[in-house]
Amino acid sequence: MESEVRERPLVGPSIKKEGKAKLLKSLLQSREFILAVALLIIIIVMKFVSPFFLTLTNIRGLLVGTTMIGIISVGMTGVLVTGGLDLSVGSTLALAGIIAGISLRAGIPVTFSVIFALLSAGAVGFLNGLFISKLKFDPFITTLATMIIVRGLLLVISNGHAIINLPDSFNQIGQGTFQGFQYPVYYFFIIAIVGDFLFRKSYLFRLSYYVGSNQEAATMCGINVERIKILNYVIVALFAGIAGICMTARMGMASVTIGESTPLPVLAACVIGGASFRGGEGTVLGAVLGAFLLELLINALNIAGIGIYWQQVFTGAILLSAIALDKFKKK
């Protein structure tokens, strides 16, 4: 056959040109890069606004303040990537704290109390995953329901009271420090780094992107869609559990009402970090940077003396900018 099939690429010759422009372009296309620059700008500006900003005390506070949202957003990224979402993380977080508290007060050793707490959290995630993948329930409604049910059960179990007087050995999990930073900061960093690596490199976690990008095609390719979805719901619930244990240990008591407002900032962090509710997109690094950005902004506004009521306005505005950026990028 003498005829050669000839075609031209949709995006033409400009690609080949200057390597530098290409690098810059791909950096500007990278959500993580934009977020890192934004963080850097805020830090530099704040350094001049207030001498207190870059003190160790403030940095410690910043890091600890990011841990709870940050840890959960790592797991939430996975759920969003598969095309789902989880509103029940706040209730799961409280559940883990209460289960740990009850176990500890019943004289169960710290290790086992923590394991029970995580198991209970994981169970919520497993149920969410089961409903959503096997029974094809809508993720929003399903997790809204489990959010309400779990919170209700907590009130029933605890009669609405917080569980106080937790043993010191347990409280150390949240209050102990290493090199001047509280332990949860390290848990957060480890989870973020390992999570980001796994979602980029590991076969199992990478499958989440296939599932979220096109569920039907994933099925045709022999990918076990249901299992991948359940896995991600269990992971986000476990991370919510870890966050709950950390909070409980830091406060030295298990609260029933803790985490009621958690799901929204977690979702905001993920979306700012590049995830979308359509699935198939988002990275752990992006979500973690998003969580930092939200915390940093609140911190900066506090230091700059801008009223607390304004903080929500800014948080919302950032969220809108993130979406605007997406639209702009796709043009």
Q: Which residues contribute to the site for other proteins (CB under 8 A)? A: 1-3, 5-15, 201-204, 206-207, 209-210, 213-214, 216-224, 280-281
Q: Which is nearer to other proteins, 133 or 255 (CB)?
A: 133
Q: Measured from the CB of residue 219, what is the shortest distance to other proteins in angstroms?
A: 6
CB-nearer residue toward other proteins: 7 or 57: 7
Distance CA 148, CA 129 (A): 16
Burial (CB < 10 A; 0-12, 13-18, 19+), residue 275, is: buried
Are the C-beta atoms of residues 80 and 275 closer than 8 Å to each other? yes
Helix (H) or strand (E) holding 177: strand 177-178
Please state the closest distance from residue 27 (CB atom) to other proteins, in A. 15
Q: Nearest approach, Cβ of 3 to other proteins (angstroms)?
A: 5
The number of residues in the chain equals 331
CA dihedral 193, 279, 70, 287 (to 10 degrees): 70
Q: How far is the CB of 142 from other proteins (least distance, A)?
A: 23
Six-digit token pair at 301? 């506004």
Asked if 96 and 222 touch (Cβ cutoff 8 Å), the reply is no
Which one, 6 or 136, has the nearer CB to other proteins? 6
Closest CA to 292 of 25, 49, 62: 62
The nearer residue to other proteins, 77 or 262, going by C-beta atoms, is 77
* Shortest distance in whole angstroms from residue 4 CB to other proteins: 8
- Least distance CB 301 / other proteins (angstroms): 35
- Rounded to a whole number of angstroms, the minimum distance from the CB of residue 6 to other proteins is 7
How far is residue 130 CA from its own chain's centroid?
21
Nearer to other proteins, 276 or 302 (CB): 276
When the beta carbons of 3 and 159 are compared against other proteins, the nearer one is 3
Pick between residue 9 and residue 51 the one whose CB is nearest to other proteins.
Answer: 9
Across-strand partners of 163?
254
User: How many whole angstroms separate alpha carbon 29 and alpha carbon 14?
Assistant: 16
Tokens of 217: 């095609």
Type of residue numbered 107: G
Nearer residue to other proteins within complex by CB, 46 or 285: 285
Q: How far is the CB of 113 from other proteins (least distance, A)?
A: 31
Token pair belonging to 114: 């923590």
Residue in 290, 252, 81 with CA at minimum distance from that of residue 166: 252
C-alpha to C-alpha distance for 263 and 243, rounded to whole angstroms = 13
